A and B are shown apart, each in its own frame.
Chain A
Amino acid sequence: MRDPDELLQQSLDALESGTPLEDVLNELPEDSIEMVELIRLATAVRALPHPQMVNAAEQKERILSIARQATIPVAKAKSSSPWFQRIFAAPAGRWAFSAVAVVLIAFAAVLLTGSPKNVRAATVMDLSGQVEVLVNSQWLPLEEGDLVYAGNRLRTGQNASATLLFYEGSRTILSADSDLTLAVVDGAQGNVLQVVMDQTAGTTEHSVVPLRGKDSTFLVRTATGDASVRGTSFEVSILNSHSRFKVDKGMVLIYNDQNAVLLTAGQASTSSDDLSITDPAYEFRLVGNVTAIGETEWAVSGVTFTVTPQTVIASGVELDSYVVVKGRTVDGERIADSISFVNGNQKPRLTFTGIVESISDTAWVIDGQTVIITNETMIQAGLAVGDAVEIRFYVAENGDWVAEEIERLDEDVITPTPEDTETVTPEVTGSITPEVTETVTPTVITTIDATPTNDIACVGADPQPTGMTLAMRYGVPYEEIMGWFCKHYGFGEIDLAYTLAQASGKTVEEVFAMRESGMGWGEIKKLLQPEPTAKPHPTQKPHPTQKPHPTQKPKPTKKS
């Protein structure tokens, strides 16, 4: 029997190449009533007129106008400054404006003391270099203490950086050459923070205070994958066509429409524009001089690593360049994700992360790599085999890696300090927005009453949409799906396990047990689904027997 999917496609191919419909139908096998219906339906859909855009011309002009602005190099906006800037230009104006602002703030504070309201801004701090915000199609320089809001697009220039401080203490650091749009910045009583940002360039680092309540969100979106957290410290870099995520503390869910992985402390992953996401892998980071450049093997400070076609290498990097290499150890191989020039005054530093495999007085093995222990090595107390650690090391003349410091990777979520929140004082600078209705109320958080468990942290969005879809697809509780997810199975794996369980009659637990015994998914699939027939789709169910058909539907022409 011919594969119906293939048969349908062949008939559609024939139609697309100009064969008349009736001829195509005549070519079908005799028992192809269903196929005839599908081909007629496909033909009918193709023949339908579809709606036209009403405002295409205006829209094109608008987009072109933005495209023209995007080609303008970064520069301070000239003339036509807003009214509040003109006021600020004169000293008297500044004094007058400040006085008004103080009165307004005092009034607002009195109103708000008893009932804190939503906070919809982040404070810009630790400015260095050229940092700008897009306002009315113009890039305006930001200043220390400025407030930025949802809808604001920010960018940093070469060697520039800035920190965004959210009202409950979470922070985002923008490194040089970053481009970030705040899509959502919102807060509510009880410290429910909602932050969504779209990052299109550069590197950002995030320290997120444990979020409270199911409505809280901290999401960094990139073109190829999103990072969702509830309390952690992590870094996001845009590297050409892919995004790189690295977790310092806690856990971060990385996902896109097709895949999801959970990163724990010390791990990194990349997502690509084909929506693939690499498996979590422990990170290495090398700051030093390039000591070797080969076709695929490079070295920095004597540490070798592999360069792949996906490695993003800053132009101009050559032997002896002072660089930072960010990479992952995948199946024992150190693979570089990026090699860039060092920004600022970073000192030489070689680090890698991994699981402690063995411990002795003179050497430890971590993630397959032996490091020498000396009297100078600083080792955090209480470390044991199985712990995830970060190692700072140097390469001795004989090539040995000598540990300088070994410390446990902190999987605990970040707790806010009073310092984090005390610095959030409402300031009106007048430089970005004339609004002086900011509702920030200084808050000092001293305790965390809702420490997220691993279960909560691993869920990410609540509810997790892919988890919901799978639960509905297989008719099992959402919690069951997320239970597997929290055991570090990706949604793709969970989907596959349930499909294989359905196809084979085994339980899902048995399928996962096979996986945990060390079998690859390919092996499991081969074992449970030996025939090369198409995988039964979980939603595929028998057709209704009393399906009414259109009365006007023509009878198929059978081949004689």
Chain B
Amino acid sequence: MPEIDLTDLTLRAKNGDTAAAGELYEQCHQDIYWYLFYRVGDAQTAEDLTAEVFLRMLRGLPNYQPQGKPVEAWLFQIARNLAIDHYRSNHHEEPIELKENQLVEPGEVHNTVEKTLTEEKLRRALEHLSADQRDVIILRFVLGMPIAEAARTINRSQDAVKALQRRGLLALRDLLANWEVSYA
């Protein structure tokens, strides 16, 4: 997320400054989109949900009060809820969480020639992580969010995020190894 003071932008948007609302969108939409893309796995759905995140933000602006929690955390919370709702409304089960001794069959996902890590392989692998692990991997390594900010965003302690980070990476490593996908 950017260095610009998003709280100030949000307060201005709350007071009817549409330029501030536009700037808020500019600053945040890409991260929100990436987050949603890796959560829902479909570019068009992610775009639609990104729009919904900002629409809900607009609806929530009259009640917005800065209370120490970053605006990004608010937006990601909306995005997380939307991603969950998306699964529910489409009658999907929550993605199958990978137990650490339960690997996916290689042929299930990877019958392509390419054996290097791509965004698509990452997305598919993330589907097999727990929701919390997936959130942490996306926030930390796709969006490059510092550990403290990631912790605030998903409302966990930094220690919990560190644990989720390692377990998530371990699960990813095992999946990619099983699929014979290299990443170094």
Which residues of chain B are near A469, meaning CB under 8 Å?
Answer: 94
Q: Mark B27-63, 1 if CB is under 8 A from A, else 0.
A: 0011001100100000100010011001110111111
Q: Out of A4, A43, A48, A53, name the residue touching B50 (CB < 8 Å).
A: A53
Q: How far is the CA of A64 from the CA of B23 in the complex (A)?
A: 10
Give A537 to B129 CA distance when docked, in angstroms.
Answer: 14
A59 and B183 contacting across the interface, CB-CB below 8 Å: no
Nearest CB to that of B64 among chain A residues?
A241
Segment among A204-212, A285-293, A372-380, A548-556 that sits at the interface with chain B: A548-556
Interface pair A550/B177, CB less than 8 Å apart: yes
In the assembled complex, the Cα of A540 lies from the Cα of B167 at a distance in Å of: 9
For B69, the chain A residues whose CB sits under 8 A away are: 273-274
Residue pair B100, A541 in contact (C-beta under 8 Å):
yes
Which residues on the B side are within 8 Å of A1 (C-beta)? none
Asked if A238 meets B63 with Cβ closer than 8 Å, knowing A275-B155, A544-B174, the reply is yes
Residues of B within 8 A of A560 (CB): none
Residues of B within 8 A of A553 (CB): 177, 182, 184
Given known A51-B119, A465-B88, A549-B177, contact A71–B63 (CB-CB < 8 A): no
Q: Is A518 an interface residue (CB 8 A)?
A: no
Q: Interface centre among A41, A62, A70, A554, by most B CB within 10 Å?
A: A41
A407 interface residue (CB < 8 Å to B): no
B9: interface (CB < 8 Å): no
Instruction: Report chain B residues within 8 Å CB of A543.
Output: 100-101, 170, 174
B47 touches A53 (CB 8 A): yes
- The size of the chain A interface, using a CB distance under 8 A, is 68
With A42-B141, A550-B177 already in contact, the answer to whether A66 and B55 are too (CB < 8 A) is yes
Decide if A9 touches B141 in the complex (CB within 8 Å).
no
CA distance A142 to B168 in the complex (A): 51
Q: Do the beta carbons of B130 and A539 come within 8 Å of each other?
A: yes
Report Cα–Cα, A258/B84, bound state, in Å.
12
Q: Are A539 and B184 in contact (CB under 8 A)?
A: no
Query: Chain B 1-30 against A: per-residue CB contact (8 Å), 1 yes, 0 no?
Result: 000000000000100101001100110011
The 8 Å CB contact of A68, one of B18, B29, B137, B178, is B18
CA distance A43 to B21 in the complex (A): 34
Instruction: Output the least CB separation between A58 and chain B (Å).
Output: 10
The verdict on A60 contacting B25 (CB below 8 Å), with A38-B170, A469-B94 known, is yes
- Given A63-B55, A544-B101, residue A37 in contact with residue B43 (CB < 8 A): no
For the complex, what is the distance from the CA of A63 to the CA of B51, rounded to whole Å?
Answer: 7
Give the top 7 A-B pairs by smallest Cβ distance, nearest first. A44-B183, A552-B182, A71-B16, A5-B162, A45-B141, A38-B169, A40-B184
Residues of A within 8 A of B (CB): 4-6, 8-9, 12-13, 16, 34, 37-38, 40-46, 48-56, 59-60, 62-64, 66-68, 70-71, 179, 200-201, 223, 238, 240-241, 257-258, 273-275, 465, 469, 472, 534, 537, 539-544, 547-554
7 A-B pairs within 8 Å (CB atoms) are namely: A64-B21, A238-B63, A537-B167, A543-B170, A547-B177, A550-B176, A553-B184
Q: A38-B169, A66-B55, A541-B100 are in contact. List 11 more A-B contacts (CB 8 A).
A: A5-B162, A12-B140, A48-B118, A59-B47, A63-B21, A66-B58, A67-B22, A241-B64, A273-B67, A548-B180, A550-B176
